[in-house]
Amino acid sequence: MSKSKSQKLQLELKDVTGIPAGLVQCKIEVAGNTASVDMKNSMSCILEEVALNTVITISLLRTNEIIAVSRISFNAMFGESLQGKAEKWVRLKETNPSGRDLKVKLAGSLFPNHPGKDKSYTVPAKPASDTSYKQPDIKSQEISISKIRNSEPPRCPYVSKLAISEAPQEKLADLWKNREIFGDLTQEKSIRITLEPETFNKPGSEMPKYDISTLDVLDILKLKEIGGFQLKKLLKTLNEEVKNSTYAALNLPFARNQLIAKVNERTEKHAEAEKLSQEILKTSAEKTKELAELLNQRTELMKIMQAEEEKYKELETDVDVVKAAIGLATSENIRLKAECIRYGDADKVHKELQAQVKEGLTRKTNLEKAFQSSESQLKSLKDRTDTQKEKLKKEKEDIANNLKELTKRKDLVMKENNTLKKQLADVKQRMSTEQNIKQYLKEARNNNTLESSKRDQTYYDLEEFIHTMQLQIEEFKNKQKTLMTNRKAVSQSISSLEKELESKESQIIDLKRKISEGCSNQITLEQMYCIKSDISQLIDELNKLQKIHNEGRDVILKGLDQGVEYIMKESDQVIEDTRELDSLIDNLDNKDYELDNLKIMVGEAKTRTAPYVPKIDDPVDVALSEFLNSLDEPIPIPFTRENEGIYMFGTKRIFLKLENNNVKIRVGGGYTNIEEFIEIYTSTELERQEEAMEETMPQMMESLSRFSGKSGMSPQRAARIIQGSVEAISQGSPLKATARKKNK
């Protein structure tokens, strides 16, 4: 039930309990309107639409901080009529629980808003489904007085009692609220009332005008002032409202079935949307996994490229080392040749030198061939680093074998150099021996004249041979110079080629890097495009779901009024139950207060217990005093000494003795320890003491014994039971839960 015409709401704060009213501010919020109220200032606002489930939010603020909040509906405040005046006590729930019972007494009034002067008649609200609704045509009807006098029409019991002044002292709003809402819709119910015709007013007096909005606040005195014609108009309008309400009630099952069907469709579409969202999530997860795998492969390939580049650099360093070794070997060979030329004046030495030169040339050619082969191998390695890793390893092994051969050759060259050095030493020795021979020849020149001609001839031949050898040596030097120049040119060309190779390698690396970056950018763009397409599909689906949700929400909200009315009825019953529970909780709080007082009394009694003073001559009494005074908590039943070894424990006479500096008590036929005796007999003596207290203080015991469920239970035991029940309630019982619901 809701009213669409504007209503004027006025709220006022009457009282606050649980906290001084001057320390807090009360803030009220209704349908977007907020205001601070106190004992002097009230809140007034105009509401365009009022319903039973419209909520009034009440907040208590202390230094601009909310300390307690509560909510109350218009149904609980003003009833189903949604009009009139009301006063309610509202319990608030603290944001930080401190055990205080905060309540607020709120007074309010809700009436239709009349911006102009008084209006004589207002059109009743038409139902939402009937578009052909028209304003009822109200015309005055004349009723003949003779017909009224001669016939006895049926009478209205309320009007007849009102004429005798025996009508109940209740407002029409309360009577209307307690009626049956639906009743039997199949039976036609009507009330026939005969009324007097409209009478003219006296001059100078005006008849008050009434409409449907003022019926709820009518009492008996105001009803007497209403004229018959006005009452008839009001009855007609009420009859129209009843017809409209019955029409709406008959259409409720059909609307309910439609609502259920639409709800089922909405749930099915919601399930389909959830399935689609799950599939989308699965596909996105798979794509993320694929992307992660591609990234891992890319990182692995980059690592392999870096490893191959490092190996290539190592090979280049090895080649540089080999080149340096070749240069050292050539320089050593040149030095040996220079020494051979310096000391070479014999045929054998010249022949050996020629042979060595030939061998050096062959070795040089071999080394150049090896260097060229190594260069070709390096080029092939550069070309194959991107595709074949195994071929690189094989070529590396080949280069290593070549290096081993070169080292072996180097060792052989060193050995040959050593042999040449030995031969040079032999030549020097021979030269020294030849000089001695010349001296012998000079001495024997006179004796060997015949041999001089031969010697001259041989000397001449030797000069010719030396001249030819010098010519050959010059030719060899020229050839060597040409070879050196050719070698320099070759080395320069090799260095230029190496630079070109390095530049091309750097270009290849840059191109590979650009290709990899382009591939990664392409992959990211493809993924972004896929994600954007997925997002667009999701947005379209969400828009469709939003449209379906909006359509279903409008349909559902149209049929919720009936459910709200039923819920409000049930909430009234719940409120009554919670009130009963509140009274029970208040009783429990009072009993808690009494229990706290009893605990304080017991604590004071415990603190007042004096230490046991023994008799010095009696060793048993001294041992008993030492035991009692050493206890952390005093015993509620005292020991009283009658004679040596004879004591009274409450109402029980006992006998004590010492055994091995331990106090023994005789019970029945044997002795027991004092600790066991106290544990066993303290409870029985306490019950006897409680019975004696019940006889001496009957009033306090009666107040406690009312809560003992069993007959014959002591008040102290009942107090303990009540304390345990209160603790259980505070930890979470149904009573506490209902109280919390009410606070909410």
Beta strands in 40-165 (DSSP E): 43-47, 50-51, 55-61, 66-73, 84-91, 93-94, 103-112
Amino acid at 168: P
**Residues contacting 24, CB < 8 A, separation 6+:** 16, 60, 61, 62, 67
137: tokens are 């045509």
Q: State the 10-residue block means of pLDDT for the chain, 744 residues long.
A: 70 84 83 83 84 87 86 85 86 83 86 59 36 38 37 51 53 50 46 48 53 62 69 78 78 79 82 82 82 85 84 81 79 73 62 73 76 71 67 71 77 79 78 67 68 70 78 80 80 81 84 83 80 80 79 68 75 82 84 81 63 85 87 83 88 87 81 87 86 65 49 52 50 41 43
Backbone φ and ψ of 164, nearest 5°: -90, 0
The CA distance from 232 to 239, in Å, is 10
In this predicted structure, what is the pLDDT of residue 378? 66
Task: Let me know: does 344 contact 350? Beta carbons within 8 Å.
Answer: yes
Please state the three-class secondary structure of 341-370 as a single string: HHHCCCHHHHHHHHHHHHHHHHHHHHHHHH
According to CATH, where is 2.60.40.150 located in the chain? 2-112
In this predicted structure, what is the pLDDT of residue 568? 80
Task: Let me know: does 231 contact 140? Beta carbons within 8 Å.
Answer: no
The CA distance from 93 to 100, in Å, is 9
The CA distance from 564 to 75, in Å, is 10
In this predicted structure, what is the pLDDT of residue 220? 65
Task: Let me know: does 673 contact 662? Beta carbons within 8 Å.
Answer: yes
Pairing status of strand 50-51 against strand 84-91: unpaired
According to CATH, where is 3.30.920.20 located in the chain? 569-743
Could you give the 3-state DSSP secondary structure of residue 53?
A: coil
Q: Which fold does the domain 569-743 belong to in CATH?
A: Metal Transport, Frataxin; Chain A (3.30.920)
The CA distance from 692 to 433, in Å, is 154
In this predicted structure, what is the pLDDT of residue 145? 34
pLDDT in tens, 1-14: 455 578 888 888 88
In this predicted structure, what is the pLDDT of residue 729? 44
Q: Residue length, the chain?
A: 744
In this predicted structure, what is the pLDDT of residue 700? 52
Could you give the 3-state DSSP secondary structure of residue 107?
A: strand
Angle at 716 between CA 715 and CA 722, to 5 degrees: 85
Is 41 exposed, middle or buried (CB count within 10 Å of its CB: 0-12, 13-18, 19+)? exposed
Amino acid at 91: R
Task: Let me know: does 624 contact 663? Beta carbons within 8 Å.
Answer: yes
In this predicted structure, what is the pLDDT of residue 388? 65
Angstrom distances, CA of residue 637 to CA of 146, 220, 384, 628, 652: 99, 72, 105, 11, 11
CATH class, domain 2-112, is mainly beta
For residue 536, the number of C-alpha atoms closer than 13 Å in the C-beta half-sphere is 6
Angstrom distances, CA of residue 427 to CA of 284, 420, 441, 472, 636: 91, 10, 20, 21, 134
Residue entry with tokens 């979470």: 732
Could you give the 3-state DSSP secondary structure of residue 597?
A: helix
The CA distance from 70 to 375, in Å, is 93
pTM for the full predicted model: 0.22
The CA distance from 637 to 674, in Å, is 13
The neighbouring-strand residues paired with 649 are: 639, 652
